[in-house]
Structure 1
Amino acid sequence: MTGTRGRPRKQAAQGTDAFAALADPTRRVLLERLAEADLTVTELGQGLELSQPALSAHLRVLREAGLVTAAAEGRSRRYALNPQAFTALRVWLEELDRFWRTRLDALGDYLDGGS
């Protein structure tokens, strides 16, 4: 699951790191909206002060990271969350959490023994 230096490994089909995609607040808003329902580009953009090209660019990053999928619906696209991508992120974060808990427990044991 992890690549070099403990970073999550990019899957071959995904050109963008999911964490880099999540770093942008606008993309997080889009993901929050998609957590409620599958939406079209027009529905996703409602209330956001974004141009259509900017919105499309954000959605492209989310697609390339594998966080969302897009399905053609007439002349539009309907976007949906990709649950598998979020499962992979959660697993990676749990691995990292276990790593640090083990390290901190060992440090605590060392400090307790040194008193």
Structure 2
Amino acid sequence: MAVIGTFRPSKQGGWEGRILTLTIDRKVRFVPNDNRQSEQAPAFLALVGWSRIGEAWEARSRGDNSRDFLRVQLFDPIWTEPLRGALFPAPNGLSAELVWSRSDPTKESGRGP
């Protein structure tokens, strides 16, 4: 997994920071979704300025050392599919990292090792 963003808590109850890759360099905010109609609706909206570029859902990792995180989807018209990642807050809650890993098409299709 690669860290593609670093964030800090915002005064509005979400996260603010920067996503930085070879093709992306943007300030991004994850703001609480105050219009959430159901449990399946995203808990946070991802914004660049006031433009909505994605969504995030609350989740919890499995295993002995489980922890809370946000399951993130970001959208851009030039991408063929959403960028999917996870925002993991530090144990002290003072920062968070957005991580991404490339999916393995051979594993998804049942081919390969």
* TM-score for both structures, normalised by structure 1: 0.29
Which has a greater percent of strand?
Answer: 2
Larger radius of gyration: 1
More RCO (CA 8 Å, sep 6+):
1
Which has a greater percent of helix?
Answer: 1
